[in-house]
Amino acid sequence: MKENKILGWSIIFLLAIIPILLLMTLGEETSWFGDYSSATQTLGEIFGLVGMTLFALTFVLSTRIKAIEDLFGGLDKVYIVHAIVGGAALVSMLFHPIFLVLKFIPSDVWQAALYLLPGSYWSVNFGIIALMGLIFLISLTLYSRMKYNRWKFSHEFLGLVFLFAVFHIFLVRGNASRDNIFVGYYEYAAAVSIIGLGAFSYSLFLKNRIFKTAVYRVRTIKPYKNAFEISMVAEHKPLQYKAGQFIFVRFYNRRLPREAHPFSIASETNSPILTIIVKKLGDFTSKLIELREGDKVSIEGPYGKFDYTKAKGKNQVWIAGGIGIVPFLGMAKDLEDKTIDGTISLFYSVADESDFIGYDLLTQLSSANKKFSFIAWNSKTQGYLDAKKIQEISGSVKDKAYFLCGPPGFKDSIIKGLLQLGVKKQSIHEEAFDFR
Amino acid sequence: MRFFKLKLIIAIALLLAFLTFTNIIAYGYYQKNMKIIPIDDIPQLPKDVVSVPQEPKKIVNETPSTPVKNVTQSTPPKPTPPPVQVVVQQRRTRAS
């Protein structure tokens, strides 16, 4: 499937507004917005149903299905969409009780207050638990910097939260369910529940069994100052991938947690020796020193659309910040076997000279290939790399394709600068390797 | 910062929801437990009525231990005007 973000967002939008469309087309003749009381009730219920739909879609977006990845231009982009849709679901669900209690405000505020507090009606209590759970888990994701494995574990409880929300929409006696705000309410609720719970169950229980994960063995481990280079060889059939893509890696070593982590591939396209370079960022990555030659590794993927060949014929500028160099290492190695139509300039910015990874290799590749130039940038001595400095070194910034990978702040400032210099947004390709 | 706008929007939404919910619960609880007297129901007093402080009452034992006989008053009690007690019931405002 061809990348089409507009189509992807349109599908999400249309699915989200289904309750409104159903109300308009299948609603009874009764005026649902006739007076203050019925208008607030209807709005409350619509926000709840829109929120439920978006909530179910977040699970679909996290299934790593290839068609969805293709639609949004890479799994990293899908996870950005997943985060935005999850946030929209939370906001929509917050409006659900707000509108419902507004109904009671003019007559009896205590009645409104009772609506928000747990009571003897379990149909309502399920909704309150679901909303509180959603607030807690999404806040944890967005505002805390907990360890990846703990965060991932906590995120899986969203399935339970969704289950409570399902109980709520089936058991509660609102206008929508009691009086059929639109014909087919229960069919719609059932569809949303099945899609959400199905997608969640698939991700949690079935994905790893259905997807063919390739089995590799650790071949070498090379430590850098702040990173490890891990080379692996396939036990059976090697993985087919393109330079610049990423994989989910699970190490089978009793000293390491057995969860899968995403890492960019540092080796050239379809190389039988699969290499990743992991920066010591947290608890898990620091423990990789425990890895031993011959350790079993299970690999899921490849994912991502960070593909320089899609800008064939154009002069390209590759910009890497820190550990963001990893996909470019594979792409640069790829150039050895390929004829390049245009020129490629690789800017590699680090905070300190000792942070350079693959410096010698990149220097060697640029000496061997006249169309490939390597510009090492030490921000400690040369100042921060920005779009104007890139323009000064590589000439005109227009009519070039840009590929960026690095920390979000680094990427954002360069993209902003490039856009100000007149570069078209379509010419900028970025890799988002932070999944939270 | 990654997802800065999303984080900001959700933080604002959460704050607004929190304030709405807590205000409704607090005011609802207050309304339920406090009797609110409408301002119109408070009796209007004439402007020249002044609050007279009440003298502290002497504690008199109503059932004396010993019977008292031939108790006479040397001077008749001075008539005192009935004490006027002004009670202003202030209208409660919304607790927030």
Residue A279, pLDDT > 80, answer yes
| B47 domain-assigned | no
Per the prediction, chain B carries an average pLDDT of 65
Burial of A87 (0-12, 13-18, 19+ CB in 10 A): buried
Contacts of A138 in chain B (CB under 8 A): 10
Q: Which residues of B touch A408 (CB under 8 A)?
A: 1-2
**ipTM of this model?**
0.75
Task: Give tens-digit pLDDT for B14-36.
Answer: 999 999 989 888 888 887 887 66
Pick the more confident residue, A421 or A213.
Answer: A421
Q: What is the pLDDT of residue B69?
A: 46
Q: Residue B26 — left, alpha, or beta (φ > 0 → left; ψ -120 to 50 → alpha)?
A: alpha
How many residues can be counted in chain B? 96
Owner of token pair 């590749």: A365
**Would you call B31 and A434 a contact, using CB atoms and an 8 Å cutoff?**
no
State the average pLDDT for chain A: 88
Predicted confidence (pLDDT) at residue A197 exceeds the cutoff of 90 = yes
Residue B92: phi and psi, rounded to 5, are: -75, 140
- DSSP string over A150-192: HHHHHHTTHHHHHHHHHHHHHH---HHHHTTSSTTHHHHHHHH
* Cross-strand bridge partners of residue A350: A378
Mean pLDDT, residues A287-291: 86
**Nearest-CA distance B87 → chain A (Å):** 29
**Closest-CA residue of chain B to A136:** B14
Q: Is A429 helix (H, G, I), strand (E, B) or coil?
A: strand
In a domain? residue B88: no
Among B3, B17, B31, the residue with its CB nearest the CB of A98 is B17
pLDDT at A378: 92
| DSSP 8-state code for residue A374 | E
d(CA A83, CA A391): 34
Domains belonging to chain A, first-starting first, are: 5-209 (1.20.120), 214-303 (2.40.30.10), 312-431 (3.40.50.80)
Q: Which residue of A has its CA nearest to B32?
A: A110
The gap from C-alpha A109 to its chain's centroid, in whole angstroms, comes to 42
A16-50: pLDDT as tens digits: 999 888 888 877 656 677 788 888 888 998 999 99
CA distances from A222 to A80, A178, A230, A247, B29 (A): 32, 65, 6, 19, 65
**Is residue B18 one of the residues assigned to a domain?**
yes
**Beta pairing class for A296-303 and A214-223:** antiparallel
Q: How many structural domains compose chain B?
A: 1
Q: From chain B, which residues contact A within 8 Å (Cβ)?
A: 1-3, 6-7, 9-11, 13-14, 17, 20-21, 24-25, 27-29, 31-32
- pLDDT over 70 (residue A360): yes
Expressed as residue numbers, the domain containing B8 is 4-32
pTM of structure: 0.75
pLDDT tens-place string over residues A146-180: 888 788 889 999 999 999 999 999 888 755 555 55
- Chain B: give the shortest CA distance to residue A57, in Å: 18
Query: pLDDT digit string (tens) for A299-320?
Result: 998 998 888 888 877 889 999 9
For residue B94, pLDDT beyond 50: no
Maximum CA pair distance of chain B?
98
Cβ–Cβ gap B2/A116 under 8 Å:
no
Query: Is residue A85 pLDDT above 90, yes or no?
Result: yes
User: SS3 for A41-89, per residue?
Assistant: HHHHHHHHHHHHHHHHHHHHHCCCCHHHHHHHCCHHHHHHHHHHHHHHH
Please give the torsion angle defined by the CA atoms of residues A59, A62, A67 and A71, in that order, rounded to the nearest 10 degrees: 100
Cβ–Cβ of B28/A408 closer than 8 Å? no
- Cβ–Cβ gap A90/B27 under 8 Å: no
Distance from C-alpha of B4 to C-alpha of A84, rounded to nearest angstrom: 11
| Residue pLDDT, tens place only, A103-118 | 888 888 888 888 888 8
Model pLDDT for residues A5-23, shown as the tens digit of each residue: 899 999 999 999 998 888 8
In a domain, residue B78? The reply is no
Average the pLDDT over A332-358 and give the result. Answer: 86
Query: Longest Cα pair distance anywhere in chain A, in angstroms?
Result: 81
Q: Is A384 left (phi over 0), alpha (psi -120 to 50) or beta?
A: beta
pLDDT at B61 (0 to 100): 54
Check B6 against A117: CB less than 8 A apart. no
Model confidence at B2, in pLDDT bands (50, 70, 90)? confident
Highest mean pLDDT among A136-140, A432-436, B73-77, B82-86: A136-140
